[in-house]
């Protein structure tokens, strides 16, 4: 009964950590495509090919349900995968869904027409590829009207976090927030559209100010998964073992992951 979690690097570990706390008895298989990270600067076709390869490996590990804990993959590859690649007995879910559920205060299964919601001005912080895809704006438009979204491509932040340079990451976050505020001086809410960004949530909040509600993904995804598996218990795959897989150097990735989560993590070759 394992569930797969995929990310281009270490950011998806924030989602894994939240899921482990919410569903402690659920085996999880994590796949980090560290050899090809970051995805945020790659083409959509490249992201699609890498994401399908990784997802296939998670299917092979006994995961019938895979979460793309990578906003770039969710934005650039998920719809194409769901429309023509995912087998009938498998499911691949992205991380935008729980975020937009929370932002619009309506359940994803609510197919009523778009309506006005409480927030009017939303700042989106994401990778360049996610911003280019406009996937967040597209999904939001299905559920809400009258919401102005200003997107800021946060180049360099993922790289700094992956390298463990949190001083540089903080400086970059503050620079990107300043750039966003020049375009949208008073956002009502901010969406952290990358699973690496929860590690910098306090910096985002401080730079934006206490009046801005910051939406981060990890806990929202964990809660959404718990609800999904309660409704669809058959999607708990046959896998019984928790694993950490990487395309990168297992030793190097394990060391960085251990620092990332502040507990011992051991990756093996994918």
Residues with a known catalytic role = 70, 194
Long-range contacts of 76-79 (CB under 8 A, 24+ apart): 76/39, 76/44, 76/47, 76/48, 76/51, 76/129, 76/130, 76/133, 76/135, 77/44, 77/47, 77/48, 77/51, 77/52, 79/135
Q: Which residues are annotated as a binding site?
A: 7-8, 39-40, 71-72, 195-196
Inter-residue contact 249 to 36 (CB < 8 Å): no
Query: Is the preceding omega at residue 38 within 30 degrees of 0, hence cis?
Result: yes
| Cα–Cα distance, 18 to 97 (Å, whole number) | 16
Q: What are the angstrom distances between the C-alpha of 251 and each of 15, 91, 158, 239?
A: 22, 31, 20, 24
| Cα–Cα distance, 202 to 182 (Å, whole number) | 21
Q: Which residues are annotated as a binding site for substrate?
A: 7-8, 39-40, 71-72, 195-196
């Amino acid at each position: 009964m394992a569930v797969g979690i995929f990310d281009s690097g270490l950011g998806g570990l924030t989602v894994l950590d939240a899921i482990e706390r919410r569903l402690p008895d659920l085996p999880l298989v994590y796949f980090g495509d560290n050899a090809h990270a970051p995805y945020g600067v790659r083409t959509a076709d490249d992201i699609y090919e890498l994401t399908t390869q990784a997802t296939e490996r998670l299917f092979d590990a006994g995961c019938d349900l895979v979460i793309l804990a990578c906003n770039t993959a969710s934005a650039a590859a998920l719809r194409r995968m769901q429309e023509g690649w995912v087998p009938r007995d498998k499911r691949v879910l992205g991380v935008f869904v729980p975020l937009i559920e929370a932002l619009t205060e309506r359940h994803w299964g609510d197919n009523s027409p778009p309506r006005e919601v409480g927030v009017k001005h939303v700042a989106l912080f994401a990778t360049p590829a996610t911003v280019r895809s406009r996937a967040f704006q597209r999904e939001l438009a299905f559920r809400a009207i009258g919401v102005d979204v200003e997107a800021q491509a946060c180049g360099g932040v993922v790289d700094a976090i992956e390298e463990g340079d949190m001083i540089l990451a903080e400086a970059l976050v503050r620079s990107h927030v300043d750039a966003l505020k020049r375009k949208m001086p008073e956002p009502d809410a901010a969406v952290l559209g990358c699973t690496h960004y929860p590690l910098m949530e306090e910096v985002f909040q401080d730079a934006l100010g206490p009046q801005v509600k910051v939406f981060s993904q990890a806990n929202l995804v964990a809660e959404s998964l718990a609800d999904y598996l309660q409704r669809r218990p058959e999607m708990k795959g046959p896998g019984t073992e928790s694993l950490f897989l990487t395309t990168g150097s297992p030793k190097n990735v394990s060391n960085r992951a251990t620092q990332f989560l502040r507990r011992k993590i051991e990756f093996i070759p994918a």
